[in-house]
Amino acid sequence: MASPEQPPLPLLFLIGDTGGGHRSAAAAVQQALDRVEPGRFAPVTWDPLRGPDVPGLLRWFAGLYGLCIRLTPWLWWSFWRTSNSPVGLRALRRTIMAPVYGSVERAVESCRPALIVAFHPMTADPAVRAQRTADAHAPVVTVVTDLVTAHLSWVDAAVDRVVVPSEVVADQCAADGSPAGRYVPLGLPVAAEFCRPPLDETQRRELKRELGLRGEFLVVLTGGAEGSGRLRRCAAAILRQVADVDVVVICGRNRSLRRRVGRLAERTGDGRLTAQGFVGNMADWLRCADIVVGKAGPGTIAEATCCGAPLVLTSFVPGQEKGNAEFVTDSGAGLYAPRPRQLAAEVGRLRRDPAALGAMRDASARASRPGAAVDIARFIADLAAPAELGVTAEAAMAGVDVPVGRDDEGVGWPSELLPALMAETAAISAPASLRRLRRSGVLIRAALRDR
């Protein structure tokens, strides 16, 4: 705890509002810091991708993420794959993401943090650059928020430490040649309200009634902050094929989805379907759910397992969520059912088989890491401690073998990258891409009609 003579140490948390997971992770760590070190730190959360000081073109580009993963996931996969290479990533950083470097540098100069934490992959390298340029002497830490499949941008920047969410990502770091002391497997941070002990059946029924439901078997559908994952079709299939269940769809920021689910609820007319927008009590919905249905988002998986909720996954974002479904099924915490009819059949089977559902609930709780946020907060506090004593980051890290990384100081499109970058994208079939583009146009027009 900071004394009256010792003001709180500023920390800089770098996020990007592409989805809700990066901001949620930063908020969870800040909440844990307030619990374990009350009054000692003053975190400043900054978004250099969609903040007020970045060009409108970058804000527009970053804002396309939600629309892209909902309507054209193949296009996102092409972008993710192309940038998941040294050549592609360097080109991305020097062009579209170039303004991020200036935004982070201004934030560092403004708050002079004792420590910089990157919760978004595109902020790690700019943080290192800003540390060098501003001569800030603040350690830089990356907190990876992708559960299993980590993009190159998460781990290639020359940060001081990388906090990884799973042993799979730790093994990836080791295979890439990172020193063992540089990456630390502490888990994926979630807020404290998700980390309370799971409820028994009686407690779940009481919580359902407090939330305005009948107290029956409850299926909660969630698609993260963007409300992706064909949730309306999944809800309709469950209502058609499974009786005596309540279905709640958490639509996030997807207002179009909420309108469509609301119309479906009106047509159903039996009170079994409820549409919710972006909710502030997500922990309550997960804690009382008998089954959680949704895409394989890392935040949803981490929060649901901390609540001990069985999972049925219906989709994943190509690229960063590829391995999440396997992680859930291999641990026994859930199932993968990509088609609405298959999903409804699995929900019906689990509804009739309490023993199988209970085994999944127990496996879900075992797969969780409810102490991750507190562990990360203590780790950050220890790294920031030398700043209170006036010790530089270099002195604090003396003797630690940390790779130097590349020195990409220039900004702009380097002509020598073009041939290699074209080779990265040449594998994408033009006829297949045109067919997907036409199909995506139909989806986009249908979505716009619902607005």
Based on the domain organization, do 218 and 355 belong to the same domain?
yes
Report whether 150 contacts 164 (CB < 8 A): yes
Q: What angle do CA 135, 116, 319 make, to 5 degrees?
A: 125
Q: Is residue 112 assigned to a domain?
A: yes
Q: How far is the C-alpha of 348 from the C-alpha of 228, rounded, in Å?
A: 23
Based on the domain organization, do 125 and 165 belong to the same domain?
yes
Q: Identify the CATH number of the domain in which residue 255 sits.
A: 3.40.50.2000
Sheet holding 245-250, edge to edge: 273-276, 245-250, 217-222, 291-295, 311-315, 334-336
Tens of pLDDT along 96-149?
Answer: 999 999 999 999 999 899 999 999 999 999 999 998 887 767 899 999 999 999
Based on the domain organization, do 325 and 204 belong to the same domain?
yes
Based on the domain organization, do 237 and 348 belong to the same domain?
yes
Based on the domain organization, do 42 and 148 belong to the same domain?
yes
Q: Is residue 382 assigned to a domain?
A: yes
Q: How far is the C-alpha of 207 from the C-alpha of 287, rounded, in Å?
A: 8
Based on the domain organization, do 135 and 218 belong to the same domain?
no
Tens of pLDDT along 380-404?
Answer: 999 987 755 555 545 545 443 333 3
Buried b (16+ CB within 10 A) or exposed e, 299-328: bbbbbbbbbbbbbbbbbbbbbbbbbbbbbb
Q: How far is the C-alpha of 130 from the C-alpha of 170, rounded, in Å?
A: 26
Tens of pLDDT along 43-76?
Answer: 999 999 998 888 999 999 998 888 888 888 889 9
Domain span at 412: 9-190+372-425
Nearest to 279 by CA among 222, 233, 229: 222
For the chain, percent of residues with pLDDT exceeding 70: 83
Element (H, E) at 76: helix 73-83
Based on the domain organization, do 198 and 233 belong to the same domain?
yes
Tens of pLDDT along 234-246?
Answer: 999 999 999 889 9
pTM: 0.83
| Domains held by the chain: number | 2
